[in-house]
Structures are given as C-alpha cells and as structure tokens.
Amino acid sequence: MTRMDFDLTHHVLVAKVTKPHGIKGEIKVYSYSDDPESFEVYSSLVFVDTVSGSAQEIKLSRSRVQGSSAVLILAGVSNRNDAEDLVNCEVWVAEDQLPELADDEFYWNDYKGMDVYTDKGFHLGQVVSLMATGAHDILVVSGRGHEYMIPVKEEFLVEVNDAEGKIVIDPPEGLLEINRNTK
C-alpha cells in the first residue's frame, strides 16, 4: 500500500474503520449511511489517516454486512497487522461511485456549508455537520455565536435550494430557544 497526498474534492466521507476482523486482513467499518450494503457497489476506497493526514486508495475486493457495520476485504491487505494500520481511518469514496438517490433521500455532504434561514427570514448560520440519531438526522447549524440542532424532518423543511445553497426551515415554537448552544 502506497501512501500519497490525495485530493478529496470529489469524494464523500462514507465510513470509519473501527477494527480488524479476523486474521486475514479484513476490516470492520462503521458506515455513516443507513445502508452498509452500499459498499457492494464501490470499486475502490480512499483511507485517510486523521492523525497524519496521509491517504491511500485501495481497491475493494469484497464486502458483506454484519449487523449495522460492513466487513471489507481489500486488495493488498492480507493480514491482521495490515488491517490494524487502517483502524480509525476515515473511508472516502469518489462521488461518481455513489448510488442514485430517491427523491426523499440526500447525502450529508449535500447540506454541509448551506445557509439556514427560518421561514421568517432570520439567518441562523451554516450547516457545519450532521448527526444520525436513529429517529432522524440532525442538522448542526452554527452562526452568530450559537449552535442549533435542527431535526431533518419533512414538517420542518420548507425549502432546500441546492442552486442557492440555502435551506429554509419552519421550526416549531421553542425549538430554537431550547437547543441553542452558545459557542
């Protein structure tokens, strides 16, 4: 495996390596998608060491689902020591390998950086991250010295305008005051 600088501009963060699996080089990954079967369509993955910042692209030989995780077999990773070297790495995939989405689905990276406004025109800030809670996803919006947690639920989303990089929400009364964290 060759380490290299890698341009992740057209890549999406899809998982994190949690641990080696067995002694033959398999790795277990926590998928940020609700569908760990999605690894079956990827041909190669980019592993980014979050400590050193180095990255390496590795061909994906096979994958299988194990509970809410995926177990991956990678080309050139043939023993537990090689697999251990990948623990805690982020797993990225090229955008052109991502499966098509249904109309009511989205990729997290589609929302990052978008400006969030209330239906009354108040600018809350920008989406800095998303969280999965099991019940629904949460937009983490930061701006004006505050951080807001906004549930991604149809009844709260008035508009998502990709072209303008804008999300308009209609929060229920009290939501913004209850979950507003001062930074």
**Tens digit of each residue's pLDDT (9 = 90 or more) over 3-57:** 456 788 888 888 999 999 999 999 999 988 777 888 999 999 999 998 888 899 9
Three-class DSSP category at 177: helix
In whole angstroms, what is the distance from residue 72 CA to residue 111 CA? 28
Checking if the pLDDT of 119 tops 80, the result is yes
Checking if the pLDDT of 180 tops 70, the result is no
- The whole-model pTM stands at 0.67
Q: Which domains does the chain have, with CATH numbers?
A: 11-97 (2.40.30.60), 109-182 (2.30.30.240)
Tell me which DSSP letter residue 82 carries.
Answer: H
Residue 165: phi and psi, rounded to 5, are 65, 45
H, E, C per residue of 16-28:
EEEEEECCCCEEE
Q: What is the pLDDT of residues 45-65, one digit of tens each?
A: 999 998 888 899 999 999 999
Q: What is the pLDDT of residues 63-114, one digit of tens each?
A: 999 988 999 999 999 999 999 999 999 999 998 898 777 776 777 777 888 9
Residue 86 is which amino acid?
A: L
Q: What is the pLDDT of residues 129-176, one digit of tens each?
A: 888 776 788 889 999 888 999 988 888 889 988 889 999 999 988 888
Checking if the pLDDT of 183 tops 70, the result is no
Tokens of 170: 């209609």
